[in-house]
Amino acid sequence: DTGVSQDPRHKITKRGQNVTFRCDPISEHNRLYWYRQTLGQGPEFLTYFQNEAQLEKSRLLSDRFSAERPKGSFSTLEIQRTEQGDSAMYLCASSLIRGDEKLFFGSGTQLSVL
Amino acid sequence: GQQLNQSPQSMFIQEGEDVSMNCTSSSIFNTWLWYKQDPGEGPVLLIALYKAGELTSNGRLTAQFGITRKDSFLNISASIPSDVGIYFCAGPELAGGTSYGKLTFGQGTILTVHP
């Protein structure tokens, strides 16, 4: 299967700890996106990359959040000094640059901050 | 930013019934996307619409791009238990009149199908 892969699927951490999530996009996709979803809401955009360049960051992305896509392939999202409000599903998606706007999502990483 | 409003918020139907849900926006969209999300999973793309008035089907699913470009509709015919889930509409934000793939999502319609 060559879909979007995210790891880990679940993460439980204590407040104040750092966590890192990984996303492997569909191999030929140039764009990679990170979204956050809380219970009862639709996904909210956090940031996106075109190849290795991070082109936009949402105001939702505080200074404690950092995302990288060093070689234009996989991406990591790190949250430093986690807070209980960071508990959410973190979704990664990828797409081609061809104007059809179709984003393909991974299964997500469910973060619980205790 | 752009906001999408979905209705109804939830639906409880009997297996075999048809379902209709919609999504409205205060601003125009050039593309409408419909996704389905199962518990603990990411959204799965169902249908993409690109032209005002367009009607597109995917099996028992049919979606329409409203002629005002401010709304879209999703219909499911002859519902089955595996249709259970949350249905989201989404559209790309326009930057300078050109969309660039950053999606705004509605809050979702929760569908429950009783056997």
Task: Report d(CA A53, CA B113) in Å as an integer.
Answer: 44
pLDDT tens, residue by residue, A38-70? 999 999 999 999 999 998 899 888 999 999 999
CA angle A12, A16, A19 (to 5 degrees): 50
Please give the residue of chain B at the shortest CA–CA distance from A46.
Answer: B102
pLDDT digits (tens, 9 = 90+) for B37-65: 999 999 999 999 999 999 999 999 999 99
Q: Which residue has the tokens 């996307």?
A: B33
Question: What integer is the mean pLDDT of B19-30?
Answer: 94
Which is nearest to B37 in space by CA: A89, A33, A99?
Answer: A89
Residues A76, A72: Cα–Cα separation, whole Å:
11
Is B104's CB within 8 Å of A45's CB?
yes
User: What is the C-alpha separation between B98 and B92, in angstroms, rounded?
Assistant: 9
**Cβ neighbours of B99 in A, within 8 Å:** 99, 101
Average pLDDT over residues A87-108: 91
Is residue B111 within 8 Å of B87, Cβ to Cβ? yes
User: What's residue A2's pLDDT?
Assistant: 79
CB B74 within 8 A of CB A76: no
